A and B are shown apart, each in its own frame.
Chain A
Amino acid sequence: MRSLFVAGALLALAAATGPVIAQPSGEAERPMEQANAARGRYLYFQTGCYACHGTIGHGAFLAGPKLTPPLMAFEPFSAQLREPVGRMPRYGAETMSDEDVADIYAFLKAIPPQPTPDSIDMLKDPS
């Protein structure tokens, strides 16, 4: 997957989606518990997760469901990427390594809590 990456392509994609996602360094093999959220963020954009699930995994109507909060356990998360149920495209090992999956998961896990409607005047329950 990395070999397919074209710098110009990412730039164009970033222009389409907003902020440029800088490619983090430090991609050496490492155990899963050391998953790299910054790299996961990069991958989340580069492999197109954002397109259906939104830039922070908040989900979108007619696109992809919300990923977080709450974030599902790692096993079903990984399984859904490898052998997806529903309309989601398959992310096989050819295009996404186990390490990539773990990093994307770490990115989603690191997303800060989002506001609740009660904290936003215009979203408060009017009744």
Chain B
Amino acid sequence: MTGGRRNFLKTMSAGGLAAVAASGKARAAASGGGTSKVASSVPPIPAAALETAPLEPSESVQTAPSDAALSASARAQPLYGSDYMADCLQHLGLTVIPQVPGSTFTGLHESIVNRGMLREKPLDLLTVTHEEIGVAFAHGYAKVAGDATATIVHSTVGLQHASMALYNAWCDRAPVVCLTGSLTDPESRKNWVDWMHAVSDGPALTRDFTKFDETPRSLPHFTESLVRGYQMAMTPPQGPVVLAIDLNLQERRIAKDEALPSLRKPRISAPQGDSGGVAEAAKMLAQAENPVLIADRTARTAEGFGALIELAETLQAPVIDMGGRLNFPWLHPLNQSFNRGAVLREADVILAMEVQDLSNAVRPAPNARLISLSSYDYYLKSNYQSFQAMPKVDLAIAGDAEATLPALLAALRAAIPRRSRSAIADRGARWAEDRKGQMARARREAALGWSIKPITTGRVWAEVHDQVKDMDWAIVGGCHFEGKWPQQLWDARQHHQYIGDSGGYGLGYLPGAAVGAAYAHRSEGRLPIVFGGDGDLLMAPGALFTAAYHTIPLLYLVHNNGGYHQEIMKVQEQANARARGIARTHVGNVLPGADYAKLGASMGVASQRVVEPGDLRAAIARALEVVASGEPALIDIVSQGR
């Protein structure tokens, strides 16, 4: 395969599409990779780092203790606090750990590579190039895996870098366990840099947008805090937590008779809305003439996804999916997400489930009675205004929508009178008919500008769809600036096929989150696809390095519109409002000349650039071949602004 790939890559370069670096596998093979028997990714030491020829593995050289010697039961070796911490991470299943190294967690770093990564169900320590990428990776991973993982950041500067990504996870209600190093004891600060990076209360920085933080004082306290953190992160509304881990605690020798961690991973059962509220909501919906369902971060799992389908079909009510997650099949006849105004203007009762921007979502229906079913009511913080404008709600049920849906369904079935059945069926038939018209319109609009340059987003998605529609695809980015064509025309039937967006609209999310999500899809053998902004990519391009280095298959399509297009439009609006013309409004907003194929290639990702719409098909086919072989591929597509 490697040889074949090299030829294929050469062909691409010869075709003038892009320079492409040797692929991860090719590099690994060239430098003696594949010799490790550890399941998690332990890439070989690159030859360049040793300033020597690639190392040949030698049977006779024993550089590390055997797995058996490192096992938990073998207490012959002295153990350290960070070994204990690594064991805790493993017991909780926080096994995929993206990190930028830092001297405040060298203890844990060493324990992970020399203990955690060598055990059964090993930890996997990944190299990332920015703490923001590490958090975004964990964020994207969690949304696909349905479980949290951990990321580790250096004290102070690492957490500062991580902070915006934590805010995204907070807004997106995604569980992330962020560990940050700490030098609590001044005696252990060896030089001025240690002092610079020391902080009395590190997690204070992110306390406004994390659900829990702690600076554990002992190893049992670490265990307790980690389990509490995990439980808080995973309980809806989910969110990020931060633990500051003191270096002295990491370095502390564990006495022979000291107990190793013993902890249980709790299964999280989400809070359900109160039965009185549920019964009332069921009654309101059953009696409504035109009930409407609005979902946003409603389905966390396949079960939630299925429950919403059942609810919609029972009521034959239109569903508006705001897209925080994949809540409802995109082509379902009751999916009226692209008909929001018309649907809501008729609505008399609306059930909104975990909807973030609710007052805006229901704007076309000021007179409808509004039921909100949301875990957001359980937990909010005051400073950052991510809770949005206060909607006018008639019945506010504090409860996790997914967990509440089965009870609501049962109550609803009992509440729907027999005589309403035919009216309910008619309602569904009407929306189904309307949906056909919407699809036809979407297809007509996707055809507009089919052959123009810059390439339309409609054409990009259609070309991709044509080649992947029969594959096990999953979209790992938001699509908002890329026309939302998949939501209109792709047949998404499974919850994992789309994971929404950043939550906080903090740029720099997408590359890391896409790679993290792709990591989670990798074990399922799925095809992760993202089509996202050039500006977003340039904020965190190092995520491509992680994808290549750790061999994470992902089709990364760059929406190269030459800049921060959103802001071009905004500054233009401003300039026009002031009647000053727009001739200068691109200043500070464009990113001309950047070549993302070269960028990808420089990080080891097989990359191409496409300018001509007619070249898309072949480029996608080549990229899919690379992804099918288990590696990332990038296509830099010179595209329309929107």
Contacts and interface: CB of A to CB of B under 8 A. Distances in A.
Contacts of B483: 60-61
Q: Which 8 pairs across A and B sit closest by C-beta, in order of nearness?
A: A16-B562, A60-B642, A89-B576, A15-B592, A58-B448, A117-B443, A63-B642, A122-B466
Contacts, number: 147
Interface in B437-484: 439-440, 443-454, 456-457, 462-463, 465-466, 480-481, 483-484
A58 B445 contact: yes
Interface stretch (B245-253, B307-315, B415-423, B581-589): B581-589
B445 A59 contact: yes
B584 A48 contact: no
Interface string B579-608: 111111111001111000000000000000
Interface string A108-125: 000000111101111111
Nearest to A11: B592
Contacts of A115: 447, 450-451
In this complex, which of A15, A47, A61, A62 has the most chain B Cβ atoms within 10 angstroms of its Cβ? A61
Nearest to A56: B449
Contact of B642 (A10, A52, A56, A117): A52
Contacts of B585: 48
B638 interface: yes
Given A87-B573, A95-B580, A117-B446, 9 more contacts: A4-B580, A5-B583, A51-B569, A59-B445, A60-B457, A89-B573, A95-B579, A114-B449, A115-B451
Interface of B: 439-440, 443-454, 456-457, 462-463, 465-466, 480-481, 483-484, 561-563, 565, 568-569, 572-573, 575-577, 579-587, 590-593, 638, 640-642
A12 interface: yes
A12 B590 contact: yes
24 contacts: A4-B583, A9-B584, A15-B590, A16-B562, A17-B561, A18-B453, A48-B572, A51-B565, A52-B641, A54-B640, A54-B641, A56-B448, A56-B452, A59-B448, A60-B641, A62-B484, A63-B569, A64-B642, A90-B576, A92-B579, A95-B580, A115-B450, A120-B450, A123-B443
A13 B444 contact: no
Contacts of B439: 125
A19 interface: yes
A17 B449 contact: no
Contacts of B480: 61-62
Nearest to B582: A48
Interface in A14-52: 15-19, 46-48, 50-52
Nearest to A116: B447
Nearest to A114: B448
Interface in A42-98: 46-48, 50-52, 54-56, 58-64, 66, 87, 89-92, 94-95
